Amino acid sequence: MRRTLIALLLSSLALPALAEAPSPVKVAELSARLYAQGVEAGDPLLIISAAKLRKSLAPVASDRAATGGETVEGMPLTWEEMLASAEPLIEGDDILLGLIDDLRVETDKGVASGPVYNIGSLANGRGDTYPPIEFRGGEYAEVYVEAKAATNLNLSIYDDKGRLVCSDTDISHIAYCGWTPAQPGNFTLKVENKGPASASYALMTN
């Protein structure tokens, strides 16, 4: 009975109530926020839920790179890494360990094509500017950045006339921007590391 209740709770946490199914980029952001909350609270259920969300994606690596920026090997935080961080919190709890085992053997059937990503590295106080990227008019555009280490990443989006169209500058290791271009156009993406130390980050777009 307890396992059933935990499974139901896990499902409700993994799929937030939204009017429409979230995009792959949004799922990446939701999983990162849920994971951060789980780590901060020492709550393995939140961490497992975050891993379940992230496993539903299949991120695609890109050769996109910041102008003059440093590109590094790797990929965004993986669901395997998330689960590994949950295990020390649930030693001796066979039910939660069983949930982790179930998630590990769960097939990839139905995995959504995930966001296109690039891995970069920024020293504290530095910024990366990406060459203009074209987004279609009338369609919702999304850009998301995520650092594995605790830092403060800021994200700004500019149109082809240099006007700021979206920004996320709160104090967090993740940042998300979504907007709908009125017409097709090129947009410049700028990522800044306002944290106290260097950090690798993943930049994702739809």
pLDDT digits (tens, 9 = 90+) for 66-88: 888 888 888 888 999 999 999 99
Decide if 158 is inside a domain. Answer: yes
pLDDT for 13-24, tens place per residue? Answer: 444 444 567 889
pLDDT on residue 30: 94
Does 197 share its domain with 105?
no
Predicted confidence at residue 108, as pLDDT, reads: 59
* For residue 163, pLDDT beyond 50: yes
Portion of the chain with pLDDT greater than 70, in percent: 86
Residues 143-160: pLDDT tens digits?
Answer: 999 998 789 999 999 999
Which one-letter DSSP state was computed for residue 21?
P
Kindly state the average pLDDT of the residues 50-57.
92
- Cα Rg for the chain, rounded, in angstroms? 18
Instruction: Identify the CATH number of the domain in which residue 183 sits.
Output: 2.60.120.380
Q: How far apart are CA 156 and CA 137, in angstroms?
A: 19
Alpha-carbon span 182 to 188, nearest angstrom: 16
The answer to whether residue 71 is domain-embedded is no
Q: Which helix (H) or strand (E) holds 135?
A: strand 127-135
Same domain (yes/no): 40, 87? yes
What is the H or E stretch that residue 120 is in? strand 112-122
**Burial of 165 per CB tally in 10 Å (0-12, 13-18, 19+):** middle
Q: Are residues 87 and 174 in the same domain?
A: no
Q: What's the mean pLDDT when you consider all of the chain?
A: 86
Which domain range does residue 119 map to? 113-205
* Nearest C-alpha neighbor of 175 from the set 201, 195, 150, 146: 146
Q: Hunting for tokens 């169209």 — which residue is that?
A: 165
Q: What is the crossing angle of helices 79-86 and 94-105, to 10°?
A: 170
pLDDT of residue 175: 96
Comparison of pLDDT for 39 and 150, the residue scoring more? 39
Distance CA 128, CA 122 (A): 7
